[in-house]
Amino acid sequence: MKKAIVEIKNLKKVIGDKTIIHGISMDVFPGEVFGFLGPNGAGKTTTIRMMVGLMGITEGEVLINGFSIEKNFEKAISHVGGIIENPEMYKFLSGYDNLLQYARMLPDPVKKERIDEIVKLVGLEKRIQEKVKGYSLGMRQRLGLAQALLHSPALLILDEPTNGLDPAGIREIRTYIRKVAHEEGIAVFVSSHMLSEMQMMCDRIGIIQDGRLVSVETVGDFVGEKVSTAIEIEPIEKAREFIEQTFPELNPKVNGAKMFVSASREKVPSLVKVLAENDFEIYQVSSENSTLEEKFLEMTEGK
Ligand SMILES: Nc1ncnc2c1ncn2[C@@H]1O[C@H](COP(=O)(O)OP(=O)(O)OP(=O)(O)O)[C@@H](O)[C@H]1O
C-alpha cells in the first residue's frame, strides 16, 4: 500500500469545557478523493482548521507527508493546496494572467510548461486568455483549482467545492477533481454536505458525527454491501413480525406498502419460498442498493 499523505492520529479538540473533536484518526492516500461528510456542526471545519494549522490541536497530531503541522508547519504546509468557497481572482485580467500573478507570489518559480499543463488538466485551455469577468462560476472554480495546483501540492483540501454551482458546473468540477487525483496522483480531501455529490466524486468517505468518526469506507462498500430487498406483501405487518422471528438478521422494516429486508440476492429465493409457504401473498420483489444518503441518515440517525 502507498504511504499516506495525511495521517491524522487521535486528533482531539477541546474548547472551554466542550470537547468538539473526540480523538479521530484517519489517513488519506495519494491518488484518491477522500470525502469528509457530516451533518451541520459535526466538526468538519474544526478538523480542517486543525489539519492546516489554523487552529491549535488539543491532543493527537496531523502529519502531512510525514511532517507535523504543529512542529514543522512550513514543511507540512508546503505540500498543501486548497481552495476556499469562492477563490479570489482579478476579474479584469485573463485567467492566464491570474495564474501568472499567483505564481509570482509562490516561493519557488513555476515553469510556463507547468501552467500550460494545469490549464489543460482543468479544461480551460480554450478560454484561458479571456478575462475572468466573462467566466461562469464553474470556470472560476476550475481556475481556482488550477491556482491551487500551481505549486504541485501532494494534498489538495477543498471545502464545499460545488457550492453555488449549477448541475453542469457540479459535473465539470467533479470530473476535474477526479482527474487531478487519478492522473496527477494527488490526494484530494473534500468536505461537503452534498451526499449524492460525494457518492459520485469520492473514492472513500469518512463520516463524522458529533466530533466522532463513525465510519471510513470506500464508496463501493458503502453502497454495495447493503442490498435492500423491497417486498410488496400482504398482510404486511404480520409478514414483518414473521421475519423478525424467523430471520431477525434481515432487520425487516415496513414503509408504506413495502417491507424492506437486508437480504442479499442469494437469500431472496429461499425467503420468497418460506413466505409463500406461510400463506403470505407476494405481489412484487425488487432489489435496491442503498444509496449513500440512506446509509448516511441511518448512521447519523437522521440528523
Ligand atoms: N470557537 C468555538 N467555540 C465553541 N464551540 C465551537 C467553536 N467552534 C466550533 N464550535 C462548535 O463545534 C462544533 C463543530 O463545529 P464545526 O464548525 O467544526 O462543524 P461543521 O461540521 O463544520 O459544521 P457545518 O457543516 O455547519 O460547517 C459545533 O457544535 C460548533 O458550535
Write out pLDDT tens, residues 107-119: 888 888 989 988 9
Q: Which amino acid is at 167?
A: P
What's the average model confidence in pLDDT over 269-293?
84
Pairing of strands 59-64, 212-218: unpaired
Are residues 97 and 237 both part of a single domain? no
Give the residue, by CA position, lying nearest to ligand 1 atom 4: 15
Enter the pTM of the model: 0.75
Mean pLDDT, rounded, of the chain: 87
pLDDT the model gives residue 110: 84
Are residues 233 and 207 both part of a single domain? no
pLDDT the model gives residue 224: 55
Are residues 106 and 131 both part of a single domain? yes
What's the average model confidence in pLDDT over 157-167?
81
Question: In the structure, which protein residues have their CB atom closer than 6 angstroms to any atom of ligand 1?
Answer: 15, 18, 20, 38, 40-46, 193
ipTM over 0.85: yes
Domain membership flag for residue 82: yes
Atom of ligand 1 nearest to the CA of 47: 18
Provide the number of structural domains found in the chain. Answer: 2
Atom of ligand 1 nearest to the CA of 49: 18
Place of cell 454491501: 225
Question: Tell me, what DSSP letter sits at residue 88?
Answer: -
Sheet of 18-28: strand order equals: 18-28, 6-15, 59-64, 67-68
Q: Which residues pair with 12 in a beta bridge?
A: 22, 59
Q: What is the DSSP string of 257-291?
A: TEEEE---GGGHHHHHHHHHHTT-EEEEEEEEEPP
**C-alpha of residue 164 to centroid of ligand 1, in Å:** 22
Question: Tell me, what DSSP letter sits at residue 40?
Answer: T
Are residues 174 and 216 both part of a single domain? yes
In this predicted structure, which of 53-57, 86-90, 91-95, 141-145 has the lowest mean pLDDT?
86-90
Question: Tell me, what DSSP letter sits at residue 166?
Answer: -
Question: End of a domain among 188, 207, 222?
Answer: 222
Are residues 235 and 294 both part of a single domain? yes
Are residues 71 and 206 both part of a single domain? yes
- Residue whose CB lies within 8 A of the most ligand 1 atoms, among 13, 19, 45, 213, for a mutation test: 45
Contact status, residue 83 vs residue 75, Cβ threshold 8 Å: no
pLDDT the model gives residue 236: 94
Question: Tell me, what DSSP letter sits at residue 3?
Answer: P
Atom of ligand 1 nearest to the CA of 38: 21
Listed in sequence order, the DSSP H helices in the chain are 44-51, 73-77, 95-105, 112-121, 137-149, 167-184, 195-201, 219-224, 236-246, 268-277, 292-299
Q: Given pLDDT bands bounded at 50, 70 and 90, which one contains residue 55?
A: very high
Question: End of a domain among 222, 250, 271?
Answer: 222
Domain membership flag for residue 119: yes
Between CA 51 and CA 27 the distance in angstroms is 12
- Residue whose CB lies within 8 A of the most ligand 1 atoms, among 44, 52, 192, for a mutation test: 44
Domain membership flag for residue 33: yes
Distances, alpha carbon 186 to alpha carbons 33, 38, 180, 181, 205, in Å: 9, 23, 6, 5, 16
Are residues 201 and 232 both part of a single domain? no
Q: Is the pLDDT of residue 189 over 60?
A: yes
Domain membership flag for residue 66: yes
Domain membership flag for residue 13: yes
Are residues 98 and 234 both part of a single domain? no
Are residues 119 and 206 both part of a single domain? yes
Are residues 167 and 180 both part of a single domain? yes
Pairing of strands 80-83, 155-159: parallel
CATH (domain of 83): 3.40.50.300
Are residues 214 and 249 both part of a single domain? no
Range of the domain at 250: 227-301
Question: End of a domain among 190, 222, 254?
Answer: 222
- Residue whose CB lies within 8 A of the most ligand 1 atoms, among 46, 48, 191, 214, for a mutation test: 46
**C-alpha of residue 41 to centroid of ligand 1, in Å:** 5
**C-alpha of residue 239 to centroid of ligand 1, in Å:** 44
Q: Given pLDDT bands bounded at 50, 70 and 90, which one contains residue 226?
A: low
Distances, alpha carbon 79 to alpha carbons 50, 113, 187, in Å: 15, 20, 10
pLDDT the model gives residue 27: 95
Give the residue, by CA position, lying nearest to ligand 1 atom 2: 15
Between CA 121 and CA 115 the distance in angstroms is 10
Domain membership flag for residue 206: yes
Are residues 297 and 155 both part of a single domain? no
Domain membership flag for residue 110: yes
CATH (domain of 239): 3.30.70
**C-alpha of residue 42 to centroid of ligand 1, in Å:** 7
Distances, alpha carbon 166 to alpha carbons 38, 133, 160, 191, 193, in Å: 22, 18, 14, 18, 16
**C-alpha of residue 165 to centroid of ligand 1, in Å:** 24
Contact status, residue 161 vs residue 192, Cβ threshold 8 Å: yes
**C-alpha of residue 279 to centroid of ligand 1, in Å:** 54
Q: How many other CB atoms are found less than 10 A from the CB of residue 68?
A: 16
Pairing of strands 155-159, 187-192: parallel
**C-alpha of residue 212 to centroid of ligand 1, in Å:** 13
Domain membership flag for residue 1: no
